[in-house]
Amino acid sequence: MGGSWRWAALLGFALFAPITLPAGGSERRQPEVRRRQPGEPLLPASLRSLQAAPERQAPVLTCLSPDQPLRVLRSWRGASGERWLQVEASPTAGAAAARRGWLLA
Protein backbone atom coordinates (compact mmCIF):
# COMPACT_ATOMS: atom_id res chain seq x y z
CA MET A 1 0.00 0.00 0.00
CA GLY A 2 2.83 2.41 0.87
CA GLY A 3 4.54 1.68 -2.46
CA SER A 4 1.51 2.71 -4.52
CA TRP A 5 1.33 6.12 -2.76
CA ARG A 6 5.00 6.64 -3.43
CA TRP A 7 4.53 5.88 -7.14
CA ALA A 8 1.46 8.13 -7.31
CA ALA A 9 3.40 11.01 -5.70
CA LEU A 10 6.32 10.46 -8.08
CA LEU A 11 3.98 10.36 -11.09
CA GLY A 12 2.17 13.52 -9.92
CA PHE A 13 5.47 15.35 -9.52
CA ALA A 14 6.64 14.17 -12.96
CA LEU A 15 3.43 15.42 -14.59
CA PHE A 16 3.15 18.84 -12.94
CA ALA A 17 6.73 19.90 -12.15
CA PRO A 18 7.78 20.53 -15.81
CA ILE A 19 5.00 23.11 -16.13
CA THR A 20 6.68 25.36 -13.58
CA LEU A 21 10.25 24.76 -14.74
CA PRO A 22 11.67 26.73 -17.68
CA ALA A 23 12.71 24.73 -20.73
CA GLY A 24 16.31 23.64 -20.48
CA GLY A 25 16.70 25.10 -17.02
CA SER A 26 17.29 28.59 -18.38
CA GLU A 27 16.19 31.89 -16.89
CA ARG A 28 12.67 33.18 -17.36
CA ARG A 29 13.81 36.75 -17.97
CA GLN A 30 12.68 38.19 -21.28
CA PRO A 31 15.22 39.98 -23.49
CA GLU A 32 15.13 43.75 -23.26
CA VAL A 33 13.56 45.54 -26.20
CA ARG A 34 14.87 48.92 -27.27
CA ARG A 35 12.01 51.22 -28.13
CA ARG A 36 12.27 54.17 -30.47
CA GLN A 37 11.87 57.59 -28.95
CA PRO A 38 8.91 59.67 -30.17
CA GLY A 39 9.81 61.31 -33.45
CA GLU A 40 12.82 59.06 -34.07
CA PRO A 41 12.53 57.59 -37.59
CA LEU A 42 12.91 53.87 -38.20
CA LEU A 43 14.63 54.59 -41.51
CA PRO A 44 16.19 57.75 -42.95
CA ALA A 45 13.67 60.02 -44.71
CA SER A 46 15.59 60.12 -48.00
CA LEU A 47 15.28 58.19 -51.24
CA ARG A 48 16.16 54.56 -50.51
CA SER A 49 17.17 51.72 -52.79
CA LEU A 50 15.50 48.33 -52.36
CA GLN A 51 18.20 45.69 -52.83
CA ALA A 52 17.99 42.02 -53.78
CA ALA A 53 20.13 40.83 -50.85
CA PRO A 54 21.43 42.23 -47.55
CA GLU A 55 24.78 43.28 -49.05
CA ARG A 56 26.03 46.68 -50.22
CA GLN A 57 27.05 45.27 -53.64
CA ALA A 58 23.69 43.52 -54.21
CA PRO A 59 21.68 44.59 -57.27
CA VAL A 60 19.16 47.40 -56.76
CA LEU A 61 15.59 46.30 -57.45
CA THR A 62 13.99 49.74 -57.32
CA CYS A 63 14.20 53.11 -55.59
CA LEU A 64 11.61 53.90 -52.92
CA SER A 65 10.25 57.32 -52.14
CA PRO A 66 10.30 58.45 -48.48
CA ASP A 67 6.50 58.46 -48.26
CA GLN A 68 5.99 54.97 -49.69
CA PRO A 69 4.45 52.59 -47.09
CA LEU A 70 6.63 49.64 -46.07
CA ARG A 71 5.98 46.50 -44.06
CA VAL A 72 9.00 45.17 -42.15
CA LEU A 73 9.26 41.40 -42.49
CA ARG A 74 12.47 40.70 -40.57
CA SER A 75 15.77 42.15 -39.43
CA TRP A 76 19.31 40.95 -40.22
CA ARG A 77 22.77 41.87 -38.92
CA GLY A 78 25.50 41.60 -41.54
CA ALA A 79 29.02 40.31 -40.87
CA SER A 80 30.27 43.90 -40.66
CA GLY A 81 27.61 44.78 -38.05
CA GLU A 82 25.27 46.62 -40.43
CA ARG A 83 21.55 46.32 -39.73
CA TRP A 84 19.37 45.35 -42.69
CA LEU A 85 15.59 45.15 -42.88
CA GLN A 86 13.70 42.90 -45.26
CA VAL A 87 10.65 44.91 -46.27
CA GLU A 88 7.67 44.66 -48.54
CA ALA A 89 6.89 47.88 -50.38
CA SER A 90 3.24 48.55 -51.14
CA PRO A 91 2.50 48.58 -54.87
CA THR A 92 2.66 52.00 -56.49
CA ALA A 93 0.30 53.29 -59.19
CA GLY A 94 2.24 51.66 -62.05
CA ALA A 95 3.27 48.43 -60.28
CA ALA A 96 1.17 45.28 -60.40
CA ALA A 97 2.30 43.73 -57.11
CA ALA A 98 4.19 44.49 -53.93
CA ARG A 99 8.00 44.22 -54.05
CA ARG A 100 10.17 42.57 -51.42
CA GLY A 101 13.77 43.49 -50.82
CA TRP A 102 16.39 44.67 -48.34
CA LEU A 103 17.07 48.14 -46.94
CA LEU A 104 20.11 49.27 -45.01
CA ALA A 105 18.79 50.68 -41.73
User: Is pTM beyond 0.75 here?
Assistant: no
pLDDT in tens, the chain (105 residues): 567 888 888 887 777 665 555 555 555 566 566 666 676 666 656 667 888 888 888 898 888 877 778 888 888 888 888 888 888 887 766 666 668 889 887
Q: Would you say 58 and 102 are in contact if contact means Cβ atoms under 8 Å apart?
A: yes
Q: Would you say 99 and 61 are in contact if contact means Cβ atoms under 8 Å apart?
A: yes
Output the DSSP codes for 34-102: PPPPTT--SS-SS-EEEESSSSTTSPEEEEE-TTS-EEEEEEEE-TTS-EEEEEEEPP-SS-SS-EEEE
